[in-house]
Structure 1
C-alpha cells in the first residue's frame, strides 16, 4: 500500500509488479508528466542564448568568437550545477525541488530581459549568461527523481521520455524565436513569453507532484559511484552523445550565420529542426536499448555519428549549404538516439554488478538504484561539459580557419574513440566479477554488459 503524508510517499516499491499495476504506475506517470514540463522550461532557459545571439547584430559589437565564448560560459554553468541539483532531490524532495528549481528560472529570464539591448557591455552579457546556466541543472534533478519512481524494466522508456521531453525545450524556444523574428519582434518579446510559463510550471509541480521519502542522499553511494570506473566511462560516452546534442544546439545557428552568411531569420528557419528531431527520438533510443541492449545500440550509433560527421566535413569544405544542413540534422537525430541508449545503460550496468556480486531480488534492485542514482548526476554533469568543448572548438576553428571544418575533424576523432571504448568495455567481455575472482565451476554464467 502507498502511504502518503501531505505530498510525501513513504512506501514505494516499483519492482513489486502487484504494487506497480495497482497504484505505482499511475503515480509514477503523473510525476513524470510534470517533471517533463519543468525540465522542458529549464532547457529552454538554459539554451535561450543560442537564439538570443541570433538577434545580436552588428549594433551589439560582438564578434563570432565572442558569441561562441558566451554560449560556452552558459553551457559550462549548466554542466557544473547538475551535481548539486542531483543531491537536492534527496534534501528537499523531488516535488519540492522541482517547484524551487522552476522558480529559480525567473532570475536569468528577468535579468536577460533587463539587459538585452545594444550598448550593453560584453562582460554584462557574460554575467547574465552565467545565470542562465542554472536551467541546465533541472535535467539532473529531474532524472534522479524519475529514476526512483520507475522499475528497472521501464527505466529506459521513462528516462528517455523524461529527457526527451526536456530536450524539446531547445527547439521550442528556437521555434518561438523564429515566430518572433518573422513578426519583427525583439528578444524581449521572447523573454516576456517565458516568464509566465515558468510560473505555471512551478504551480503545476506544487499541485500534482510527490516526494519519495525513500530517496535519501547517501554520501557513501556518491563516493562509491565516483570510485567506480564505469561512472567515468559512461560520462565520457555521454560527452559524445549529450555533449554533442547541447553543444550543437548552441552552435548550429551561429555556424550558419558565420560560415554560410545566413541572416537571423534564415538561420532560425532550420536551427530548430535538428534539436527537435534529436529530442523526439531520445525515447526511441531508450526503447531500443530496453529491447536490444544499450551497449549494442550505443556502439553502432557512434559509427553512424562518425559517418554523418564525415559528410559534414565534406559539406563544410565544399561550402555546400544543402549538404551541410542535411548532415547536421542527421547528426542531431543520432545524438538523441545515443542519449537514450547511454542513459539506459547506467542502471543496467549497476544492476549487472549487483547480480555479479551474488545479490538477488530486492537487494539487487536497491544496490542498482543506489549507485545508478548517484552516478547519474556525475555522468550528466560531465556529459554536459562536452557542450562547452564543442563551442570552444568552434570558436578556435573560426579564429584559425574562418570555418567550422577544423572543429568537425576533432569531433570525428572523438566519436571514433567513443566507439572503441564502448566495444572494449561493454561488448568485448562479460561483467567483471567483484574483487576480480574467478567464477567457481558450479556458478551460473554472468550477464554480459551487452545486455544492459
Structure 2
C-alpha cells in the first residue's frame, strides 16, 4: 500500500500537468498558486458533492420502499449499514489513486464511475425485487464514499499549511452537502407523487456534467507520487489511529445519522415518508455548512481545543435525545438531533485540521525547520488522511448497526443513543489526555526520543 507525498518532478507528461508546485512559497502562492488551487478546489467539491449524494442515495430510497417492497426496519438498517461499509473501505484505494492517475484524471474517472450504482438502482427499484438484489446494488453505491478521500488528498497537496483548515473544511463541507441535497430532491419528488426512478434519472446527467467539468478545468500535480514509506510510517504512528478514533465520533456520526435519521422518524415516531423527508435534510445541511467553520475555528484557536469542547456539546445533545426518546417527544427529539448534526459537522472540520498540524508539530520536535518540517508534515498527513477517513466512516456502519439492534431489542433507538453517549465521553477523554493534558508536552511524540520538552499539540 502506498501514500501520496511530494517528490522531485519527473519529465512533463503534457496535458494538464503542473510540473512545479510550492504553495509554501508566499510569492508563488500570491502570484500563481492561489488562483489555480481555488479553481481545482471548486470542481473537486462538485465531484465530491455528487459522490456523497450517490453514497447516501439509499438513505432516501428506503423512504420510498413501503410495505409492498416486503422489507422490515431491520432489513433497511442492514442495507444502509452495508452501503456505509463499502464507502468506508474504498476510501483507502481512492486516497492513493490520486498519485497514480493524477488528481484531475482520477476525478474524471471517479465521477464517471458513479453512473454504475445510479443506473443499477434505476433498473431494480421496484416492488418484487429481492432483498439480496437491493443489497448488491446498494453495495455499488458505496463507491461514492471514496470520492471524499481522493478529493481531500488532492486538495491537501494544493494548499499551504496555513490554509489547510479552511480549504479542507470547505472541500469536505461542500461534499457533505450532497447528503441534504439528495434528501431535498427526494422531498420534492415525494411531494409531487413521483417515484424513486425520477430521482435517479435526475442524477445521471449531473454525474456526466461533473466529469466533463473536471476534465476541462482541473489540473494534475506531477510532484505528487505514491510513497510506500509514508504509508508504513503513517500506519505505525499512534496519532493516525488516535485521530481515526476521534474522526469516528465526528464524521462517523454525521454519515451514520444521515443514513438513519429518516428511518428513526418513520419507525419510532410513525412519521410518513413525506413527513420524515420534510425534516431529515435539515441536520445534514447545517452540519455540512458549518464544517468549514470548524476548520476555520481550528486554524484560529487550535483544532484540539475546538474538538474537545465540541464533544462536550455532542454529549449534551445526545443526553437530550435519550430523554426525548423516552418521553416520545417528537419536537424535542428533532431539535436535539439537528443540533447533534451541527456539532458533528463542526467537529469534522476541527478534527481534520488537526492532522497536518500534528505531523508538522512532530517535525518541529525532531528538530526540523522551515520547508523540511513542512515537507515532513505533508508527507505523513497525506498518507494518514486516507486511513483516518476510512476508519472514521466505519462509525457510520456502527451507528446503523446499533440502531438495528436497538429497534430489534427495544423497539426504539434509545439503547443506541446510550451507547453513542458513552462513546462521545471516551472521545472527550482521549482528546484531553493526548492533546491537551499538561504532561502532553513531555510525552506525545511516538517515542520519547523524538520529543522536545516543550513539544505540545494544544494548538494543532
List runs of 5+ in structure 1 lacking aligned partners: none
Question: Normalising by structure 1, what TM-score?
Answer: 0.97
Task: Tell me, yes or no, if structure 1 residue 64 matches structure 2 residue 78.
Answer: no
Residue 12 of structure 1 is matched in structure 2 by: 21
Q: CA deviation at 1:438?
A: 8.7
Residue 320 of structure 2 is matched in structure 1 by: 311
Q: CA deviation at 1:433?
A: 4.8
When the two chains are superposed, the root-mean-square deviation of aligned CA atoms in Å is: 1.3
Q: CA deviation at 1:265?
A: 0.3
1:74 counterpart SS class: helix
Residue 449 of structure 2 is matched in structure 1 by: 437
Deviations, residues 20-60 of structure 1 (Å, cap 9, x unaligned): 00000000000000000000000000000000000000000
CA contact (8 A) 2:99 2:224 kept: yes
Deviations, residues 402-430 of structure 1 (Å, cap 9, x unaligned): 00000000000000000000000000112
2:373 counterpart SS class: helix
Residue 23 of structure 1 is matched in structure 2 by: 32
Deviations, residues 267-312 of structure 1 (Å, cap 9, x unaligned): 0000000000000000000000000000000001000000000000
**Matched residues, number:** 447
Residue 103 of structure 1 is matched in structure 2 by: 112
Residue 394 of structure 2 is matched in structure 1 by: 385
Residue 55 of structure 2 is matched in structure 1 by: 46
**Cα 1:157/1:182, change in 2 over 3 Å:** same
**Cα 1:409/1:435, change in 2 over 3 Å:** closer
**Cα 1:263/1:348, change in 2 over 3 Å:** same
Task: Tell me, yes or no, if structure 1 residue 399 matches structure 2 residue 408.
Answer: yes
CA contact (8 A) 2:238 2:446 kept: no
For residues 322-401 of structure 1, the aligned pairs below 5 Å read 322-401=331-410
Q: CA deviation at 1:199?
A: 0.1
Residue 458 of structure 2 is matched in structure 1 by: 450
Task: Tell me, yes or no, if structure 1 residue 147 matches structure 2 residue 156.
Answer: yes
1:450 counterpart SS class: coil
2:226 counterpart SS class: coil
CA contact (8 A) 2:44 2:151 kept: yes
Q: CA deviation at 1:437?
A: 3.1
Deviations, residues 349-369 of structure 1 (Å, cap 9, x unaligned): 000000000011111111100
Task: Tell me, yes or no, if structure 1 residue 121 matches structure 2 residue 130.
Answer: yes
Deviations, residues 161-195 of structure 1 (Å, cap 9, x unaligned): 00000000000000000000000000000000000
Q: CA deviation at 1:434?
A: 6.6
Deviations, residues 206-261 of structure 1 (Å, cap 9, x unaligned): 00000011110001100000000000000000000000000000000000000000
Residue 269 of structure 2 is matched in structure 1 by: 260
Pick aligned residue for 1:80 from 89, 111, 114: 89
CA contact (8 A) 2:68 2:127 kept: yes
Q: CA deviation at 1:448?
A: 1.6
CA contact (8 A) 2:304 2:458 kept: yes
Question: How far apart, CA to CA, are the structure 2 residues paired with 1:301 and 1:315?
Answer: 21
CA contact (8 A) 1:260 1:319 kept: yes
Question: How far apart, CA to CA, are the structure 1 residues paired with 2:146 and 2:177?
Answer: 16
Instruction: List 4+ stretches of structure 1 deviating above 6 A.
Output: none
CA contact (8 A) 1:87 1:217 kept: yes
Question: How far apart, CA to CA, are the structure 2 residues paired with 1:128 and 1:388?
Answer: 17
